[in-house]
């Protein structure tokens, strides 16, 4: 399926504004648009500055990364049932093609959660969303081997010099293997074993991570 993005995105966590991308699955991107997106997607995450200006200390922007179907949208939905998602139909359900957005109060802080697309071709979207982030969460499916995409994102985020949390998802499933993920992604300090489908599990992990961020400020 080809999806044409008809409007640019304007995300301002401080003012809590989102201008959604309008998606038209019946239209194809022009060759010029395709070349531009491919060029943008080839750049590295670590080239994006952490902040363009200081964010209000009462707010946190946390960006959530992870591969296709790792559970990012489910995690944000568990935190904020009124969260918003920009996705498209795919072979086995839906997939995020722009972003997920949710918000919640944690210890008197306004926490804004931004979920990113989990496919390589949407690298340009990830770079836009992550600008000005205060922290990052990488969500990993513990029931399968860690793929190259996840490893690449992990190493890029380690170079971003913001607090990084590792969410080991689907730990409630019999075949899950958190130890395998920890071996494949060494050096993680803030690791949380969760089930993204369980609101209590998701909120507990987020609350612990927010405490880490506030202590580091």
Phi-psi region of 126 (alpha: psi -120 to 50; beta: other; left: phi over 0): alpha
Q: From CA 127, how far away is CA 45, in angstroms rounded?
A: 6
pLDDT at 87: 57
User: Is it the case that residue 170 has pLDDT exceeding 60?
Assistant: yes
| pLDDT interval class at 168 (50, 70, 90) | very high
Residue range 120-143, pLDDT digits in tens: 777 788 899 999 999 999 999 999
Query: Which residues make beta-bridge pairs with 96?
Result: 87
- Which range, of 2-16, 139-153, 170-184, 193-207, averages the lowest pLDDT? 2-16
Q: What is the pLDDT of residue 106?
A: 95
Can you list the positions of beta strands (E) in the chain? 4-5, 10-12, 17-19, 23-24, 59-65, 84-90, 93-106, 109-115, 135-141, 164-169, 190-193
User: For residue 92, what pLDDT band results from cuts at 50, 70 and 90?
Assistant: low
Question: Dihedral of the CA atoms 180, 181, 183, 189 (nearest 10)?
Answer: -140
Residue bearing tokens 């750049």: 43
Number of domains in the chain: 1
Higher pLDDT, 84 or 138: 138
Q: Dump pLDDT digits (tens) for 26-83.
A: 333 445 544 544 554 444 444 444 444 445 788 999 999 999 888 999 999 999 999 9
Q: Which residue has the higher pLDDT, 10 or 56?
A: 56
Write out the two tokens for 12. Answer: 């301002």
Q: Is the pLDDT of residue 196 over 90?
A: yes
Sign of CA dihedral 153, 155, 161, 162: positive
DSSP letters of 20-84? PPPEETTS---HHHHHHHHHHHTS-GGGS-S-SSPPPTTEEEEEEE--TTSSHHHHHHHH-TT-E
What is the CATH classification number for the domain harbouring 171?
A: 3.40.50.300
The domain of 93 spans 4-216
Percent share of the chain, pLDDT over 90: 53
Residue 207 has a pLDDT of: 97
pLDDT at 57: 80
Helix-helix angle 199-216:72-79, to 10 degrees:
90
Specify the range with the lowest mean pLDDT, choosing from 36-50, 79-93, 166-180.
36-50
Residues in Cβ contact with 132 at an 8 Å cutoff, skipping those fewer than 6 apart: 13, 50, 51, 52, 53, 55, 61
Does pLDDT of 171 surpass 80?
Answer: yes
d(CA 4, CA 2): 7
Q: Are strands 10-12 and 17-19 parallel, antiparallel or unpaired?
A: antiparallel
């Amino acid at each position: 399926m080809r999806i044409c993005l008809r409007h640019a995105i304007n995300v301002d966590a401080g003012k809590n504004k989102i201008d959604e991308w309008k998606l038209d699955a019946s239209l194809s991107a022009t060759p010029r648009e395709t070349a531009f997106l491919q060029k943008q997607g080839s750049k590295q995450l670590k080239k994006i500055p952490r902040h363009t200006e200081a964010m209000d200390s009462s707010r946190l922007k946390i960006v959530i990364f992870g591969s296709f179907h790792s559970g990012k949208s489910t995690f944000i939905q568990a935190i904020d049932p009124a969260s918003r998602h920009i996705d498209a139909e795919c072979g086995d359900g839906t997939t995020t093609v722009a972003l997920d957005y949710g918000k919640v109060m944690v210890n008197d802080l306004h926490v804004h959660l931004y979920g990113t697309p989990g496919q390589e071709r949407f690298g340009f979207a990830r770079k836009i969303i992550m600008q000005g982030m205060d922290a990052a969460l990488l969500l990993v499916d513990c029931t399968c081997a860690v793929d190259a995409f996840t490893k690449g994102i992990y190493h890029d985020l380690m170079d971003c010099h913001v607090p990084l949390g590792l969410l080991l998802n689907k730990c409630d499933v019999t075949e899950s293997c958190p130890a395998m993920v920890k071996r494949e992604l060494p050096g993680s300090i803030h690791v949380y074993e969760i089930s993204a489908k369980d609101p209590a599990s998701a909120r507990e992990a987020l609350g612990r991570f927010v405490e880490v961020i506030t202590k580091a400020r």
